[in-house]
Structure 1
Amino acid sequence: MTKYKLEYIWLDGYKPTPNLRGKTTIKEFEIYPTLEQLPLWGFDGSSTLQAEGHSSDCVLKPVAMYPDAARKNGILVLCEVMMPDGVTPHPTNTRATILDDEGAWFGFEQEYFFYKNGRPLGFPDSGYPAPQGPYYTGVGYKHVGDIARQIVEEHLDLCLAAGINHEGINAEVAKGQWEFQVFGKGSRTAADQMWMARYLMLRLTEKYGIDIEFHCKPLGDTDWNGSGMHCNFSTAYMREVGGKEYFEAMMKAFEANLDDHIAVYGPDNHMRLTGKHETAPWNKFSYGIADRGASIRVPHSFVNNGYKGYLEDRRPNSQGDPYQIASQVLKTISSVPTSKSAAAA
């Protein structure tokens, strides 16, 4: 029998942005366990804003598992939060209500800042460094410092070892700002992996004495970029059939549902989506070919391929809940008739 370190990970009840939580249990198994072998486990919901003190029990239900390369015999266990009966999803459980589609592909571009002593990594003790420009995809100490690349490379290795479909990294526009990308087939799978990648980054930076700042505009109303989580998406119909008429109908649906999208695309988006720094205003919808300032960027490949392929929604921000983002995107797309459904009607 082997003792496995199971790190149960869940989202708490804080608003507008939940925090990741985790605690470890040790269980013995003859061989590497399956998801079905992992037990339910309780926790004190009154300490995570998910229950009252007089009735504090909440239940963790394992829903996905990943190898944990940072621990010998370690397993990362992603959980949904359930009510005490272990069956009813807790009101904070956004994963349980996601509109899931295995044929929907999502690629999330997670931007964030490294912070040290309350300031972005590499910023002087007061004031600002040289204006942004050379930091994006930069190389060299004066552009990226002496520790950031070490962290992002280690994070990349941890994600790949966990089976997370991490697709790349780069230094971003502001000093101390970086990005990683996660791609998944199936909306729930993609969102699961993004949350797990965030957890691995947060846990990793503990040993470096560095914080991760996910706020979408941490430097406020200054001439420094905010952080997004651009959402690249496609459905089987978009990839295989598509067409200009369908695309235009889809864009009309996105425009009609602007408020619903902004509501779940991350808090404080009005601070980031100002029309500056290659962002569309939060209260206006637009789309354009290769237009980084549009709400939805349409790749040249999409148009050249007969309006088939993927699109990029540039409005979700770095604090957004990928479960809610993916679900809202699919909800809007599903309202658009396809040629087959239109014919049937």
Structure 2
Amino acid sequence: MIRNRQILLASRPQGEAGLDNFSLVEQDLPGPEELAEGQVLVRNHFLSLDPYMRGRMNDSKSYAAPQPLGAVMLGGTAGEVIASRNPAFQAGDSVVGMGGWQEHFVVDASQRGVLNKVDTRHIPLSAYLGAVGMPGVTAWYGLTQIIRPKAGETVVVSAASGAVGSVVGQLAKARGARAVGLAGGAEKCRYVVEELGFDACIDYRQHPDLASLSQALKAACPDGIDGHFENVGGLILDAVLLRANAFSRVAMCGMISGYNGEPIPLQYPQLILTNRMKVEGFIVSEHMELWPEALKELGGLVATGRLKFRESVAQGLEAAPEAFLGLLKGRNFGKQLVKLV
């Protein structure tokens, strides 16, 4: 048997999530000799921490079923096959899947898509949870399928230094558009402009009210806003609507400003009509038919160094809850991971 450590959802948050909502437990898993036909035993090297997990901690109606109480926290993982009774996988293979917040997991890999082999010769294993994984495909889909920028147009991205936003801006630039980011703090804004190549970045912490933030957007987007990739909502979305051009497009990816249950009022919804705007929400897992196209572009850009990304890495399984809570408050820089080996 293999002794496996796991983090479970112990209780549902009332408002803001806290460390007491999680518990660390140990469980015995079958050893290599005890695997059933078709099963694969994986040692996780990295856990992915993502904002969507906060919504699933609530017992409320959403696009996905709530995270079950007393069960391993759901989430993406990247790791190595330790043992296999499946002809498609061999010990030593690098793989990604939804292994959850635990050190090992056993999966029936006969089900298509539950475990995927990845090539780490030119792309680091961790990148398959970020720029060449779900966050990267999320960025690609929202930009290419909803915003569809033309050369010379202006695309604004909230949470621009994060795992999703950083990719959106770089893909927009590659298509000849201007990219303007919003991020929290001068250091993140410097990174967005100097390393990622955005045309401008606004530190939203310096603009705590709508008039100030709208003025900053006007200065950064003198020709208005043609496309917006929304990860935050609230004040940022209000300010964008005030600067949006006719026939502008908004990809609604996340609304982290309301993840603790706060209402997110919209001050001027009439601008959607006035400007004949397209506002579309999307869930990237509902568009699996486009993932191969997205991953081909993202993988090629990362392998050749043309798509840059940054990672915040917490060490050890027990660090996952605190790192996750920090992610919700914007303490991470780039993609938030937990390293287990």
TM-score (norm 1): 0.24
Provide TM-score, normalisation by structure 2. 0.25
